[in-house]
Amino acid sequence: MVRSFRFLFQFTWPNLSAILGFAVIVIAGCYATGVPGDTGIGNLFETYYAMFPIMILFMLYIYAFALCTSNLNLGLSFGARRRDFFWALQSIMVSSALLCWALQLFLAAFPGLAGWASRERWMLLEMFDGRPWIFPLTSAAFMVLGCLSGLLMIKRRGLGIFLIAVSIFVLMAATAILILSSETDLMEFLLDTEWGWLWASLPQATAAVLAVSAVGGELLIWRVVQRFVVR
Partner 1 sequence: MNAGILKAEGLCKSYKDKEVLHDLDLTIEPGKIYGLIGRNGAGKTTLLGILTAQNTKDSGSVTYDGQPVWENQKALDDICFSRELQPTLFSGPNNLKVKHYLRSAAIYYPNWDLDYALRLLDEFQLSTKKKISQLSKGQMSMVTILIALASRAPITILDEPAAGLDVVMRERFYQLLLEDFAQTDRTFIVSTHIIEEAASVFERVIILDQGRIVENAPTEELIGQFRYISGREDVVDQACTGLQVLSAHQMGRHKTVAVRGDVVKLEAAQEADVDISPMNLQNVFVSLCGHGDAQ
Q: Is 165 in the site for partner 1 (CB under 8 A)?
A: no
Q: Is 223 in the site for partner 1 (CB under 8 A)?
A: no
Q: By CB under 8 A, which span of 15-23, 91-99, 153-161, 171-179 interacts with partner 1? A: 153-161
Q: Which of 83, 131, 156, 223 binds partner 1 (CB under 8 A)?
A: 83
Report the 10 Å Cβ neighbour count for 4: 25
The secondary structure of residue 69, as a DSSP letter, is I
Q: Which of 24, 44, 74, 219 binds partner 1 (CB under 8 A)?
A: 74
Phi, psi (degrees; rounded to nearest 5) at 24 = -60, -45
Pick out residues in 11-40 that bind partner 1 (CB under 8 A): 11
The secondary structure of residue 185, as a DSSP letter, is S
In angstroms, the CA 94 to CA 129 distance is 21
Q: Is 231 in the site for partner 1 (CB under 8 A)?
A: yes
Minimal distance in Å, beta carbon 227 to partner 1?
6
- Best CA proximity match to 143, nearest among 224, 210, 52, 49: 210
Phi, psi (degrees; rounded to nearest 5) at 144 = -60, -40
The contact set with partner 1 (CB under 8 A) reads 3, 6-7, 10-11, 69-70, 73-84, 153-154, 157, 227, 229-231
